[in-house]
Structure 1
């Protein structure tokens, strides 16, 4: 099966530029209006930061046989039924012939606060996946093959995300691989284990400095959580579903 990875490296660079540019534009707009949020929140509330990655995902769907699929990005159309809660809002859904083909979360983490936010992202990722797969088991989406469930994280590369972090566990030891690990390394371990435990079909973490607004440069933490692995896995799933559904 020949897969089309849609020149994803250059599109990812454009997505990185869009990410930093949209954050900066949101800050400037709110500053001019006199209602700027505190800290980094002003760069988040515009809600357009990950649009470049959405476009990359749409290109993969169209290039690998499901150009007629229904692709939802509008907030009002992004909810799926849950098992432990009524619904869950996703960032992108792909549905074709009444079947859920893919559900994808696109997240970002920009400093200066990395500790609490990392824990929140971890708990959110675990809870979201467990809820979806339990709902799937209970046929909330009908009888169908397993959908692609993806989690893609963009993290600011900064001293706070790169430095070694200490942990305190007075009763039992922390797993060795976490000892002194930076938050970027912890995201890498998180993504690896989300896939190993079959909570997500693929999970990726990219890092980028703010100066990349002009270059689109980004880094990856490991091949297992790199963008190529995510894109290839998703393209393969789309192509396989296209073949199965006779597209």
Structure 2
């Protein structure tokens, strides 16, 4: 079964370039209005900074046989039922003939508060997946094959995200892989474990410096958590669904 990766590398660079460009535009707009938020919020309160990655996923879905699937991007149609809570709002949903094909989350983090944000993102990612799969087990989506569930993080490549981090755990030691690991490395470990524990079909971490507003450059931490694995798994899942339709 041939799959189409939709020229993902070029589109990813464009998505990264747009991410940084949109943040700067939002910040400048708030400064000009005289109502700028403090710190990094000025770059995010305009929202939609990860739209380039959403567009890439849509291209992959269309290119692999589900050109007529319903792809939902608007807030009012992005909720799915949960098990521990009534609903969860996702970033992108793909539904074909009443079946949930894919549910995806697109996250980003820039400095300086890498520590608190890492913990919040981790708890959110784990809880979201556990809630979805429990709802799936209990028949929330009807009788269907397992959907593709994806999580993608774009992290600022900066000295603070690359530096070793010390943890305080006075009663029991933290797992060895976390000892002295930077926040970038911790995201890589998180993504790897999210997949190993079958919480996500695939989870990816990309790092990118602010200077990427000029060229869209980004880096990957490993093959398992890289973008090629993400898009390949998605394309294969979509192509298999298209073959069943």
TM-score w.r.t. length of structure 2: 0.99
1:46 deviation in Å?
1.1
SS at 2:143's partner residue?
A: coil
Structure 1 counterpart of 2:212? 212
SS at 1:31's partner residue?
A: helix
Structure 2 counterpart of 1:177? 177
Structure 1 counterpart of 2:119? 119
Inter-partner Cα distance in structure 2 for 1:21 and 1:73: 21
1:227 deviation in Å?
0.2
Inter-partner Cα distance in structure 2 for 1:157 and 1:173: 28
The answer as to 2:35 corresponding to 1:35 is yes
The answer as to 2:203 corresponding to 1:199 is no
SS at 1:128's partner residue?
A: helix
Structure 2 counterpart of 1:49? 49
Unaligned runs of 5+ in 1: none
Aligned length: 245
Inter-partner Cα distance in structure 1 for 2:44 and 2:148: 27
SS at 2:14's partner residue?
A: helix
1:230 deviation in Å?
0.3
SS at 1:129's partner residue?
A: helix
Aligned residue runs from structure 1 range 97-176, under 5 A: 97-176=97-176
Inter-partner Cα distance in structure 1 for 2:28 and 2:75: 25
Unaligned runs of 5+ in 2: none
Aligned residue runs from structure 1 range 3-82, under 5 A: 3-82=3-82
1:45 deviation in Å?
1.1
TM-score w.r.t. length of structure 1: 0.98
